């Protein structure tokens, strides 16, 4: 079987052992005689899958007891609505940190429901860095502060999490969850679409501190109320059951790899390799400020659109696929999530190095 | 490999050829070197999957040109909110037909957003039949009429679709879509979770007549506005991509089986077999009125809870699984969707017949 290295920003590469296990039990899950895809979500076999997924996530992220772990549909985009609908309950004010395309969408959505302040922004820096938040003063009265920790399109990341005092911090971690250590207790809510570091598309993981549940307005759609899902342990209706099962396999794989600390070392090594090459290259450049560089999404470019195109095509032919940059920014982007092995980045760097020699 | 006959009401049995094809290409889809689960939803390979799924559905259901086919997250339960949020725009009134547990949820949700009238109900008949709608007069001013065509829990079904004149008819067809011929043009909206006749959980198919799109209020969550998904051809954000792919495989299988007319004959034969046995049985009874019997979900019972339990357990041991009735009604239920082969029903009837001989 000919597999390639897949640098897609999401849905993105899955660990091969995960795919192989899913493949093996696809028609008959653990002697049940049926596929996970055919399993009633009310069956004990499926409940076990949900329970194991929950407990693995709890263990790997060291999630404190006072957080609910929810498996929801609709992606981060639905969380852009669910967060304000559930949290804008007292002052109806919230502070948002604006760092790119995704925070922009989150802000636009929240503005439908309350008074939203852009508390910090790197708009003037074309989002090539994230704002410094150390000494920031947030609005004490805000119902929450929202941050996009890793910016998939811009290739930036907050390496320090701001202190927001008593105001709950809500974080979109779609593209960096489980990639490095994270102190969950610093957050009120963490949400992440599964299709980057957690599995495949269809399910979104939401960690919610329990005191933030139960405050939605009475006209909030039932499916958008965290309480609905918390009360029914993510089984209010049929969940995206196969996607949750894939998340279970990914978490099992991650645990076997040594958990978050082990994958963090590997991620740092992968990113170091690529950034070191970029910093020394005379052909390729990274536009992202050094202190804001993402470990997960690394955009780079040459000074010619034609050369970029040539690079993307030749890389593809060499088995290094989906290296095109986001349509809004062009150039190239390598997304090197947890599932990208070191060899993938080594091959990419070797290919880039060769390409540079041949195209200078 | 030991497969069993799975009578689950959903997620439910998938055709074995579908599972086998998914299994075969799980690690490497059509020589792309990656899994469908790893595929960028913006890639041409994935766009092809979406296009094929759409065109197969269009062909199999003979969907007129003025309908949009949307692939949405959240199940029918999210449609319970999306329908009123998008359609209650003029009089803010709607007529609902109340036929059981699911219509009850749809009604409760709609009441958050407008003046909802129960235009007909079989509540007094304990939902053992569906109301006669032939001569019904609907409210001319209503923004829409809502009907649950097949009632998964109660085992009832409308065999005739009411004429609602100029008022759009909205139908929950989660448990009967593609099981029998359906004149799509009689409906304003048809929605169905995939996990019964269309694939696996995670995606909901929504057919919307185009004139009903674009009327949501400005504070409608973006993800709950049909226009968002119509405009972006179900790619506003990352869709439940693997579930859509499974739907494609199911539709390919259905086409190969001879399409809707062929599967309708098979479904009628399967249901006839089971109902004929039930009508003649001295141990098992069906509580559903004859004129309202579902072809998909067939609840039945003995007069003893202990005997029911014994039946469910012995059937399971014999490879006939998930025959327990819904927790709200008890007894037994056989869900015999498109993917249940004739042999499955034949085996069930033979088993029931034997059980009756041994337990009279």
What is the secondary structure of B98-121 as a DSSP string?
Answer: E-SHHHHHHHHHHTTTSEEEEEEE
Determine the pLDDT at residue B328: 84
Residue B283 located in a structural domain: yes
Residues A36, A81, single domain; the answer is: yes
Does A273 lie in the same domain as A201? no
Whole-number percent of chain B with pLDDT over 90: 95
Q: Same domain, yes or no, for A223 and A87? A: yes
The H or E element containing residue A45 is helix A44-61
Q: ipTM value of the model? A: 0.98
Q: Find out whether A163 and A140 touch, Cβ atoms under 8 Å.
A: no
**Is B1 inside any structural domain?**
no
Which residue, B256, B288, B322, sits at the end of a domain? B256
Mean pLDDT over residues B198-214, rounded? Answer: 98
Cβ contacts of A241 on chain B, cutoff 8 Å: 11, 195, 200-202
Q: Is the peptide bond prior to A11 cis by the omega test (within 30 degrees of 0)?
A: yes
Domain boundary among A256, A277, A293: A256
For chain B, what is the domain count? 2
Residue A135 has pLDDT above 90, yes or no: no
Q: Mind telling me how many Å the CA of B282 is from chain A's nearest CA?
A: 30
| pLDDT grade for B1, boundaries at 50, 70 and 90 | low
- The pLDDT tens digits for B161-197 are 999 999 999 999 999 999 999 999 999 999 999 999 9
A271 within domain boundaries: yes
Neighbours of A167 (CB within 10 A): 19
pLDDT of residue B327: 83
Report chain B's mean pLDDT, rounded to a whole number.
Answer: 96
pLDDT at B353 over 90: yes
Residue A49 has pLDDT above 80, yes or no: yes
More confidently predicted of B226 and A165: B226
How would residue A137 be classed by pLDDT, with cut points 50, 70 and 90?
confident
- Looking at the domain assignment, is residue B51 inside a domain? yes
Site of tokens 């004959």 = B265
End-to-end CA distance of chain B: 35
The domain boundary, picked from A256, A276, A296, lies at: A256
> What is the model's pLDDT at position B138?
87
Containing structural domain, residue B80: 16-256
Nearest CA to A241 out of B51, B78, B193 is that of B193
Q: Do A219 and A340 sit in the same domain of this protein?
A: no
- Same-domain status, A306 and A250: no
Q: What percent of chain B has pLDDT over 70?
A: 100
Residue A1 has pLDDT above 60, yes or no: no
Report the mean per-residue pLDDT for chain A. Answer: 96
Q: Is A10 domain-assigned?
A: no
B62 touches chain A (CB under 8 A): no
CATH of the domain at B88: 3.40.640.10
Q: Judge whether residue B229 has pLDDT over 60.
A: yes
Q: From the candidates A196, A225, A248, A270, give the one annotated as an active-site residue.
A: A196
Residues B69, B170: one domain?
Answer: yes
How deeply is A17 buried, as exposed, middle or buried, from its count of CB atoms within 10 A (0-12, 13-18, 19+)?
Answer: middle
**Rounded average pLDDT over B14-18:** 98
Q: Cβ neighbours of residue B150 under 8 Å, at least 6 residues apart? A: B156, B157, B158, B173, B174, B175, B176, B179, B294, B296, B297
Reduce the DSSP state of residue A46 to 3 states and report it.
Answer: helix
Residue A4 inside a domain? The answer is no
Kindly report the length of chain A: 360
Query: In this predicted model, what pLDDT tens digit does every residue of B141-160 receive, in sequence order?
Result: 999 999 999 999 999 999 99
Q: Is the pLDDT of residue A157 over 70?
A: yes
**Residues B224, A221 contacting (CB under 8 angstroms):** yes
pLDDT at residue number B136: 74
| B81-98 mean pLDDT | 97
What DSSP string describes A186-247?
G-SEEEEETTTTTSSTT-EEEEEEGGGSS---TTS-GGG-HHHHHHTTT-SS---HHHHHHH
Residues B113 and B242 in one domain: yes
Closest to A184 (Cα-Cα) out of A59, A62, A54: A62
State the smallest CA–CA distance between residue B218 and chain A in angstroms: 8
pLDDT digits (tens, 9 = 90+) for B117-135: 999 999 999 999 999 987 7
Instruction: Give φ, ψ of A56 to 5 degrees.
Output: -65, -45
Residues A234 and A268 in one domain: no
The reply to whether A23 touches chain B by the CB within 8 Å rule is: yes
Instruction: Please indicate, yes or no, if residue A3 is contained in any of the structural domains.
Output: no
On whether both A140 and A177 belong to a single domain, the answer is yes
Q: What CATH number is associated with residue B280?
A: 3.90.1150.10
User: B261-277 pLDDT, tens per residue?
Assistant: 999 999 999 999 999 99
Whether the predicted pLDDT of A328 surpasses 80: yes
Quick one: average pLDDT of A337-345? 98
Grade residue A119 by pLDDT with cuts at 50, 70 and 90.
Answer: very high
Query: Is A22 within 8 Å of chain B by CB?
Result: yes
Mean predicted confidence (pLDDT) in A65-82: 98
Distance CA A250, CA A14 (A): 8
Whether residue B137 is predicted with pLDDT greater than 80 in this model: the reply is: no
**Residue of B9, B13, B221 best to disrupt the A interface, most CBs of A under 10 A:** B221
- A164 within some domain: yes
Which one of B1, B47, B73 would you mutate to disrupt binding with A, by most A Cβ within 10 Å of its Cβ?
Answer: B73
Tokens read off for A191: 């949400």
**What are the catalytic residues of B?**
102, 172, 196
Other beta carbons within 10 angstroms of residue B65's beta carbon come to 6
Do B303 and B323 reside in the same domain of the chain? Answer: yes
Q: Are strands A189-193 and A204-209 parallel, antiparallel or unpaired?
A: antiparallel
* Mean pLDDT value across residues B87-95: 96
B96 and B236 inside one domain = yes
pLDDT at position B111, please?
98
The residues, ordered by sequence, that sit 6+ positions from B61 with a Cβ below 8 Å of its Cβ are B178, B182, B184, B207, B260
Predicted confidence (pLDDT) per residue in A253-264, tens digit: 999 999 999 999
Any CB–CB contact under 8 A between B138 and chain A? no
- Whether residues A291 and A239 share a domain: the answer is no
């Amino acid at each position: 079987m000919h597999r390639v290295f897949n640098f897609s920003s999401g849905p993105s590469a899955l660990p091969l052992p995960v795919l192989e296990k899913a493949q093996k039990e696809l028609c008959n899950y653990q002697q049940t005689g049926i596929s996970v895809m055919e399993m009633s979500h009310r069956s004990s076999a499926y409940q076990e899958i949900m329970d194991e997924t929950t407990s693995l996530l709890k263990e790997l992220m060291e999630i404190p007891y006072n957080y609910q772990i929810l498996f929801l549909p609709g992606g981060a985009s639905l969380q852009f609505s669910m967060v304000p609908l559930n949290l804008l309950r007292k002052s109806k004010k919230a502070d948002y940190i604006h760092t790119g395309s995704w925070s922009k969408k989150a802000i636009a959505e929240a503005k439908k429901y309350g008074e939203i302040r852009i508390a910090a922004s790197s708009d003037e820096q074309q989002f090539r860095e994230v704002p410094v938040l150390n000494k920031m003063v947030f609005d004490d009265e805000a119902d929450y502060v929202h941050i996009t920790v890793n910016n998939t399109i811009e290739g930036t990341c907050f390496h320090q999490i701001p202190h927001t005092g008593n105001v709950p911090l809500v974080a979109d971690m779609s593209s960096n969850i489980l990639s490095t250590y994270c102190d969950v207790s610093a957050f009120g809510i963490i949400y992440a679409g599964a299709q980057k570091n957690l599995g495949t598309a269809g399910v979104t993981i939401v960690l919610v501190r329990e005191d933030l549940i139960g405050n939605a307005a009475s006209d909030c759609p039932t499916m958008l109320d965290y309480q609905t899902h918390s009360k029914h342990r993510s089984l209010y209706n049929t969940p995206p059951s196969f996607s949750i099962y894939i998340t279970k396999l990914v978490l099992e794989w991650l645990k076997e790899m040594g958990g978050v600390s082990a994958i963090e070392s590997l991620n740092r090594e992968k990113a170091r390799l690529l950034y070191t090459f970029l910093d020394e290259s005379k052909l390729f450049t990274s536009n992202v400020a050094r202190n804001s560089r993402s470990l997960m999404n690394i955009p780079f470019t040459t000074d010619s659109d034609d050369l970029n195109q040539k690079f993307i095509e030749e890389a593809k032919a060499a088995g290094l696929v989906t290296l095109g940059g986001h349509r809004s920014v062009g150039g190239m982007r390598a997304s090197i999530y947890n599932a990208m092995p070191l060899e993938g980045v080594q091959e990419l760097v070797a290919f880039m190095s060769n390409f540079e020699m041949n195209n200078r």
